[in-house]
């Protein structure tokens, strides 16, 4: 078994909802949005682990928890065996060098008033890397080269609005790489890019992964890129992981009814489906995470639901080696 880089254990993140005055006076208990509700998984060194799901399923929150942009409500996150939920200030700074994040929006993730040089200098200054200006410039140029922004000198003085979407995302990747991390959370890194450059960015991320021995957590709503880019995929639904398997198994042999529906719904660029009304086995839309259904949280939409589904939460079980699912259909009883 490969070495574990990130281990998440019973991770929970609840965002408290504001109570209205009436609720407060009535003494109703404070409610919360259960964005992430008791999830556990491991990411192995050198792999791309995908967290996929629809909007609001908690995948982005999970990513932010891991890089400590958010504090978990409860649960543990281990990085190379160390619990990172209880770090001192110094340790946290050290951790940030090793775990970085790339954001979805290449327009929003770069400060419009920062030149490329300043964007890439920021991590160096914050982490105290590079004694002199020329030393830092050397690092910056190398980072730009590693994301194929050549010649780097040409880009140093540019502002984000003088770059194309793909170039911006490459600068964002360079910013994450410049600290020499081991692990990167890539939060929908290509979903806002044009199709013709999406592959370019994904291929680039693949290449730097090999070169620098990185491990990725790839967060996406797009199963197609998840299959292309990642080794294992975890499907999230309403704050829970419902299925986890290696990419090919998950797509070709999905077990959970929700995964099945997701895969059925993904369009393929082939005209054969034209005019065919697709069979989508599940009804309705995702309920609000503030109002999670009891039992299996998918049961109101599930075509296969049976007696225990609305009462008991299904256990997360390993149906075959490396293929986990949380569904009563597969639990032994």
Nearer to another protein, 64 or 297 (CB): 64
| Alpha helical stretches, state H, 67-164 | 89-98, 116-127, 133-146, 152-156
Question: What is the contact mask toward another protein in residues 286 to 315, using x (rule: CB under 8 A)?
Answer: x-----------------------------
Site for another protein in 21-60 (CB under 8 A): 54-55
- Residue 315's nearest CA partner among 257, 241, 252, 231 is 241
Q: Which stretch binds another protein (CB under 8 A): 30-38, 100-108, 208-216, 315-323?
A: 100-108
Cα separation of 293 and 297, whole Å?
Answer: 5
**Cβ 170 to another protein, closest distance in Å?**
12
Nearer to another protein, 198 or 256 (CB): 198
Site for another protein in 217-236 (CB under 8 A): 221-225, 227-229
CB 232 within 8 A of CB 245: yes
Q: Which one among 104, 169, 215, 259 touches another protein, defined by CB under 8 A?
A: 104
- Applying CB under 8 A, the site for another protein has a residue count of 73
Site for another protein in 258-287 (CB under 8 A): 261-271, 273-278, 280, 282, 284-286
Residue 133 burial (CB < 10 Å; 0-12/13-18/19+)? exposed
Q: Give me the residue label for tokens 């209205």.
A: 20
**Cβ 34 to another protein, closest distance in Å?**
19
CB 37 within 8 A of CB 240: yes
Question: What is the contact mask toward another protein in residues 239 to 258, using x (rule: CB under 8 A)?
Answer: ---------x--x-------
Residue 71 interacts with another protein (CB under 8 A): yes or no? no
Q: 209 in the Ramachandran plot: left (φ > 0), alpha (ψ -120 to 50) or beta?
A: alpha
**Cβ 14 to another protein, closest distance in Å?**
15
Q: Which one among 69, 150, 290, 317 touches another protein, defined by CB under 8 A?
A: 69
Cα separation of 35 and 189, whole Å?
Answer: 21
CB 158 within 8 A of CB 168: no
Q: Which one among 2, 126, 150, 290 touches another protein, defined by CB under 8 A?
A: 126
CB 19 within 8 A of CB 28: yes
Site for another protein in 154-193 (CB under 8 A): 164-167, 172, 175, 179
Q: Which one among 50, 65, 101, 147 touches another protein, defined by CB under 8 A?
A: 101
CB 37 within 8 A of CB 236: no
Our CA angle for 227, 101, 183, nearest 5°, is 70
For residue 321, which phi and psi values (nearest 5 degrees)? -55, 120
Cα separation of 277 and 50, whole Å?
Answer: 30
**Cβ 91 to another protein, closest distance in Å?**
11
Site for another protein in 199-218 (CB under 8 A): 199-200, 202-203
């Amino acid at each position: 078994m490969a070495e574990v880089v990130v281990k998440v254990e019973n991770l929970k993140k609840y965002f408290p909802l504001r109570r209205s005055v009436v609720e407060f006076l009535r003494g109703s208990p404070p409610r919360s949005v259960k964005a992430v509700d008791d999830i556990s998984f491991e990411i192995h060194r050198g792999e791309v682990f995908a967290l996929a799901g629809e909007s609001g399923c908690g995948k982005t929150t999970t990513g932010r928890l891991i890089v400590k942009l958010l504090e978990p409500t409860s649960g543990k996150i281990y990085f190379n065996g160390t619990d990172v939920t209880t770090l001192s200030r110094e340790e946290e700074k050290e951790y940030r060098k090793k775990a970085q994040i790339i954001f979805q929006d290449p327009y929003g993730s770069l400060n419009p008033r920062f030149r490329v040089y300043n964007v890439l200098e920021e991590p160096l200054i914050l982490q105290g890397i590079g004694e002199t200006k020329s030393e830092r410039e050397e690092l910056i140029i190398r980072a730009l080269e590693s994301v194929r922004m050549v010649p780097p000198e040409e880009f140093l003085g540019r502002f984000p609005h003088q770059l194309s979407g793909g170039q911006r995302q490459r600068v964002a990747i360079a910013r994450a790489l410049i600290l020499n991390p081991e692990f990167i959370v890539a939060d929908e890194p290509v979903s806002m890019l044009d199709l013709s450059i999406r592959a370019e960015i994904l291929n680039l991320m693949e290449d730097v992964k090999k070169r620098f021995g990185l491990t990725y957590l790839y967060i996406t709503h797009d199963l197609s890129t998840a299959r292309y880019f990642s080794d294992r995929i975890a499907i999230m639904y309403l704050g829970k992981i419902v299925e986890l398997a290696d990419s090919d198994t998950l797509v070709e042999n999905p077990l959970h009814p929700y995964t099945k529906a997701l895969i059925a719904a993904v369009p393929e660029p082939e005209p054969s489906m034209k005019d065919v009304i697709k069979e989508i086995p599940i009804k309705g839309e995702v309920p609000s995470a503030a109002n999670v259904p009891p039992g299996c949280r998918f049961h109101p939409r599930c075509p296969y639901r049976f007696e225990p589904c609305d009462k008991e939460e299904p256990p997360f079980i390993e149906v075959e080696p490396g293929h986990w699912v949380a569904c009563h259909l597969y639990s032994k009883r």
